[in-house]
Amino acid sequence: MPNIITTSPSAFEMAFPAIVIGGGATGLSAALALRDRGVEVLVLERDRTPLGSTAMSTGLIPAAGTPEQRAAGIDDSPERFAADMLDKTKGRTDAEIALRLAEQSADTVAWLRDGHGVPLELVDGFLYPGHSARRMYGTPHRSGGELMGALEAAGARAEVTLLTEATVEGLHADGDRVTGVRIRRPDGAEEDIGCEALILACSGFGGNGEMVRRFIPEMEGAVFHGHPGNKGDAVAWGEALGASTADMSGYQGHGGLAAGHGVPILWPLIVEGGFQANARGERFSNEAAGYSEQAAKVNAQPGGVAWSIFDERLHRLMLQFDDYRDALSAGAVIEAADEAALAGATGLPGDVLAATIAGVANMVAGHEEDAFGRDFTGKPLLAAPYRAAKVTGALFHTQGGLVVDGDARVLRPDGTPLPNLFAGGGAARGVSGPGADGYLAGNGLLTATTFGKLAGFAAAALLAA
Ligand SMILES: Cc1cc2nc3c(=O)[nH]c(=O)nc-3n(C[C@H](O)[C@H](O)[C@H](O)COP(=O)(O)OP(=O)(O)OC[C@H]3O[C@@H](n4cnc5c(N)ncnc54)[C@H](O)[C@@H]3O)c2cc1C
């Protein structure tokens, strides 16, 4: 259980100017920023290999107003990106923080790529729900594992000190000023390490069933497909030090986790023309509104499952994603020569499924309005052979957390910053508002990499003052 140890040792046997708890995208971005300023930093990671939710992700990071966008003729700006975040949350996020992150986003991608060798390129071919411009950057295989590998290699080059199998169990504090941390090693040994600035990069609370029940009851019992080591420690420590929290009910869900396989069937195949049908063979929602809010909608269907139905064109689009190729290898995607074979392979009632496919074709042609409000026009008709995957709704990542300012400083309820505490990524309140529907694709790694970078630079400035 995370705790605060108020009887601070007067002198720690070992001390670093800056400590970062958590070795995911947030922690490694923060550490790189600190090393850019010449600060010695210790990253503490509970696992043997730093992976986190970052390694499970698709690794897509949004950036607005980049030179690559301009070269591709894409009209975008930080203001436009911030407006998209506000629209997706229906105004239920902090507009200043959204703009700050959007303004920093292009710099973050360029800093990681050009400054630290993380291979990020502008992704083409689809637009995630809520984004008004193509602004996603990804690694060559669109993989969070690849992103983590590159961040770790960058950390090694920058001489970041990374200690793995080091679970932080408590913080030392003098009042609300953090003076150090207590770690536990796999053999049970405890060590105390001092610091002058602490960055909480130990993510959210998706791996803490009790907190999920309390704050996100609609996902109680849903599959959690995020990092199990993220147990809400940052929130517990922050609150004990007098910090404010917000949007604790906000989360990133996904309405397309391959049932029984645990591989995400990603949303480009939906937004580019695919659809979902329930066990009755009927559509039940506007799937294109967003994959996050779709999780609870899928779970409300008979058996808590749905079929994502698409075709050969969309199958080819999806082949760029490691996740999709993993789904193919796992046998999670079926292929069917025609509608009758699709009904046979999925077990969906053939007459209803045929009517649903015909209805989608009518909406693509603009002859019919969708009862759920989706606009199917502008996308090609689905055509045989078909592909389909049986999916369920999952919790990927929590979005609520410690309230931070534009420099990732953790704030008290009166808006003043704690003396030397910073947070980013899943540890901090994100920009997704209080529900699942406010999650705009990329919000997770935007807040991880950009708040991580800002926290590192701000901590370095504090140490230099
Ligand atoms: C399947 C999936 C797909 C996703 N795809 C995308 C995407 O394409 N784009 C996007 O923007 N977001 C995506 N996300 C969300 C994104 O992965 C997260 O928002 C992001 O990785 C959070 O980064 P983080 O560094 O804060 O947390 P993490 O990467 O989870 O890192 C936190 C680390 O802290 C460690 N830790 C926790 N507690 C302690 C402790 N007490 N002591 C020591 N170490 C501790 C953990 O072991 C972990 O390694 C996806 C998420 C999932 C699950």
Which tens digits make up the pLDDT trace of 31-47? 999 999 999 999 999 99
From the CA of 442, how far away is ligand 1's center (Å)? 12
Atom of ligand 1 nearest to the CA of 44: 43
Size of the chain, expressed as the number of residues it contains: 465
From the CA of 145, how far away is ligand 1's center (Å)? 11
From the CA of 25, how far away is ligand 1's center (Å)? 7
Distance CA 441, CA 465 (A): 37
From the CA of 71, how far away is ligand 1's center (Å)? 32
The distance from CA 125 to its chain's CA centroid, rounded to whole angstroms, is 21
- One domain for residues 176 and 222: yes
Distance CA 50, CA 163 (A): 10
In this prediction, residue 200 carries a pLDDT of 98
- One domain for residues 385 and 426: no
pTM: 0.96
- One domain for residues 376 and 451: no
Q: Cis ω on the peptide bond leading into residue 349 (within 30° of 0)? A: no
Which stretches in the chain have pLDDT values below 70? 1-2, 7-10
Which are the contacts of 415, defined by CB distance < 8 A and separation ≥ 6?
none
Query: Which protein residues are within 6 Å of ligand 1, measured from CB?
Result: 21-27, 44-47, 50-54, 56-61, 167-168, 201-203, 225-227, 229-230, 233, 252, 264, 396-397, 425-426, 442-446, 448
In this prediction, residue 149 carries a pLDDT of 98
Identify the domain containing residue 318 by its residue range.
251-395
Q: What is the DSSP string of 434-462?
A: TSSTT--TTHHHHHHHHHHHHHHHHHHHH
Q: What is the DSSP string of 13-63?
A: SEEEEEEEE--SHHHHHHHHHHHHTT--EEEE-SSSS--HHHHHS---EE-
Last residue of a domain, one of 362, 395, 428: 395
In this prediction, residue 124 carries a pLDDT of 86
Query: Burial code of 62-92, b = ≥16 C-beta within 10 A, e = fewer?
Result: bbbbbebbeeeebebebebbbbbbbebbeee
Taking only the tens place, the pLDDT of each residue in 138-148 is: 999 999 999 99
- One domain for residues 173 and 191: yes
Mutate to test the pocket of ligand 1, among 397, 429, 450 (most ligand atoms within 8 A of CB): 397
In this prediction, residue 7 carries a pLDDT of 62
Q: How many domains does one find in the chain? A: 2
CATH number of residue 384's parent domain: 3.90.700.10
Q: Among residues 137, 70, 72, which one has the least CA distance to residue 105?
A: 137
The one-letter amino acid code at 149 reads: G
Q: Among residues 145, 389, 148, which one has the least CA distance to residue 263?
A: 389
- One domain for residues 141 and 126: yes
- One domain for residues 222 and 272: no
In this prediction, residue 9 carries a pLDDT of 65
- One domain for residues 105 and 161: yes
Atom of ligand 1 nearest to the CA of 230: 37
From the CA of 8, how far away is ligand 1's center (Å)? 30
- One domain for residues 112 and 225: yes
- One domain for residues 318 and 238: no
In this prediction, residue 245 carries a pLDDT of 98
CATH number of residue 13's parent domain: 3.50.50.60
Q: Which residue has the least CA distance to atom 21 on ligand 1?
A: 54
- One domain for residues 277 and 151: no
Atom of ligand 1 nearest to the CA of 444: 19
Mutate to test the pocket of ligand 1, among 445, 447, 449 (most ligand atoms within 8 A of CB): 445
Distance CA 465, CA 447 (A): 26
16: left (phi over 0), alpha (psi -120 to 50) or beta: beta
- One domain for residues 238 and 290: no
Mutate to test the pocket of ligand 1, among 57, 252, 453 (most ligand atoms within 8 A of CB): 57
Last residue of a domain, one of 375, 395, 415: 395
Strands (E) across 343-416 are located at: 386-398, 401-402, 409-411
Q: Are 64 and 105 in contact (CB under 8 A)?
A: yes
Last residue of a domain, one of 380, 395, 410: 395
- One domain for residues 373 and 303: yes
